[in-house]
Structure 1
Amino acid sequence: MGDKLINVGVTGYFVSSEQNKQGWIKGVPGQQFSMFSYDFVESIVGSGAVPTLLPVVPKGHIKHQLATIDALVLAGGEDVHPKHYDENDLKEDSSISHERDEYEFELLKQALQLDIPILLVCRGMQLLNILQKGSLYKDINTELKTPIEHLILKDRDKAVHNVSLKANNFVTTLMGEHLQVNSIHHQSINRLGECLEVIGTSEDGIVEVVTFTNREDVIAVQWHPEMMYKTSDHAVKLFNWLVNKAEIKK
């Protein structure tokens, strides 16, 4: 690696004036914010790169954001509005961010067209699947029967279930055939999107790792490697892969 470090863009939360109308989050009542997980900042820095925080901006500005980065992380967060994969579900939920949804769909679309290396985490994997015309289980506990609890908020870096990866794939070569991961989600992939391949599943069949069938610069995972970066070798390998892939392409 040369003197100039790789720039890794990372997405975050958009907190609207309505969500912060009481000023309980930060600042004054009604003030809008962009918020980012510091776990991603530490993981990117630990991998020898520079984190570039990507706030929600108008679509016309996205190409200029992408021009400043070498790799991209789509972070976890709130649910994607179900209207994007179920035309009959138009219900509103105050926790959903339409601004973030629209921004990240366009950001991901343009990044894929530019062949920017991408790591997609939790919501990010679900967003990719929806972009590729797939669908989600809206709530695992009500739609599926599983003995595994997938939404565990306590001890975010703790491994709580196993993931098995398919042999003879670049992700498996990178991380191995069996992983132990954390789990902080209540939704999961249902119908798989076009041109995608399931590489890893948990013991109950929930999709945990997805890639494209025809490219090796995109990895999507359902767990949170940024929260396991200090305790897990496979988390370190994921972020190192992203930075190394960007270095090769640069």
Structure 2
Amino acid sequence: MKPVIGLTMHPVEGKKEINNTYINAIKKAGGTPICLPVINEENIEQVLDIVDGVVSIGGYDVNPLIFGQEPHFKLGVVIDERDKSDMLIMKRAFEREIPILGICRGEQVMNVAFGGTLYQDIDTQVENVLKHTQVSLRHEVTHTVELEPSKLQQIVGAATILTNSFHHQAIDAVADGFIINARAKDGVIEGIEHPTHPYCIGVQWHPEGLENDAPSDKLFKSFIDASTKK
């Protein structure tokens, strides 16, 4: 039986949306995707009862007030409703040892949910930063990511990969208990994971957008395998 994978959604003007590339990546790897609307304390446990894994997807900026900072002048759009829902899903799924894959914003949510902080705008807050907001299409790779010794490196089977890049926020202080598993050549953190959780991995790039890319395929396959074993 295929594992059921819950994907967080993106509120837009009263609607909830998700890019089909996330759904296609889960289906290709062998999972059954379902879309999770905005979740609250009243329904979180019921929702998590029906999923075998959770993907926290990309989207707007994380509100810096959550990690104790005032807004930088380059802060983009924030949505309080989604921040609360994503943080709640992340924390409860982690507590229940449900496999979690965080992508772009989802990786940042993973870090902030457990006490980490973010750069609100790496272009102005990080010296000698590379271009992390590519204008090329999602299937194009535009910079190098170096993988640290980690579960992610074991999954991918390489020390260096090429990725796409669509972010201006990035992890600053890493949450306690988590380790860095990937960095860009400029030192910007491109991934984290929890070494003792059954499967809790976050990546800053968008593997779902890299079709027929071996590292991305391996990442999604490992996530589905972990969700199957849950």
When normalised by structure 1's length, the TM-score is 0.87
Partner of 2:193: 211
Q: 2:185, 2:9 → 1: CA distance?
A: 30
Deviation of residue 64 (structure 1)?
Answer: 1.0
2:179–2:194 Cα contact (<8 Å) kept? yes
Match status 1:236 vs 2:209 = no
SS in 2 for 1:60: coil
Aligned pair in 2 of structure 1 residues 65, 90: CA closer, same or farther (>3 Å)? farther
Equivalent residues in 2 for 1:34-53, closer than 5 Å: 34-53=16-35
Equivalent residues in 2 for 1:135-150, closer than 5 Å: 135-150=117-132
Q: 1:57, 1:147 → 2: CA distance?
A: 36
Gaps of 5+ in 2: none
2:151–2:195 Cα contact (<8 Å) kept? no
Structural RMSD (CA): 1.7
Larger radius of gyration: 1
Match status 1:172 vs 2:153 = yes
Q: 1:80, 1:109 → 2: CA distance?
A: 16
Give the stretch that moved more between structures: 152-161 or 176-185: 152-161
Give 1:70's aligned amino acid: D
Deviation of residue 170 (structure 1)?
Answer: 2.0
Partner of 2:137: 155
SS in 2 for 1:34: strand
Equivalent pairs: percent with the same residue? 28
Q: 2:174, 2:151 → 1: CA distance?
A: 20
Deviation of residue 87 (structure 1)?
Answer: 4.3
Q: 1:141, 1:80 → 2: CA distance?
A: 16
Q: 1:153, 1:72 → 2: CA distance?
A: 29
Q: 2:180 aligns with which of 183, 198, 202?
A: 198
Partner of 1:29: none
Tell me the number of residue pairs that the alignment of Structure 1 and Structure 2 aligns. 228
Give 2:90's aligned amino acid: L
Match status 1:14 vs 2:11 = yes
Give 1:106's aligned amino acid: L
1:157–1:231 Cα contact (<8 Å) kept? no
Q: Could you give the per-residue CA deviations for residues 83-119 of structure 1, whole angstroms, max 9, x where no partner exists?
A: 011244499x782110000011111111001100110
SS in 2 for 1:158: coil
Q: 2:79 aligns with which of 55, 80, 97?
A: 97
1:47–1:243 Cα contact (<8 Å) kept? yes
Aligned pair in 2 of structure 1 residues 153, 62: CA closer, same or farther (>3 Å)? farther
Aligned pair in 2 of structure 1 residues 87, 208: CA closer, same or farther (>3 Å)? closer
Give 2:171's aligned amino acid: I
Q: 2:2, 2:9 → 1: CA distance?
A: 22
Gaps of 5+ in 1: 21-31
Aligned pair in 2 of structure 1 residues 164, 153: CA closer, same or farther (>3 Å)? same
Give 2:88's aligned amino acid: E
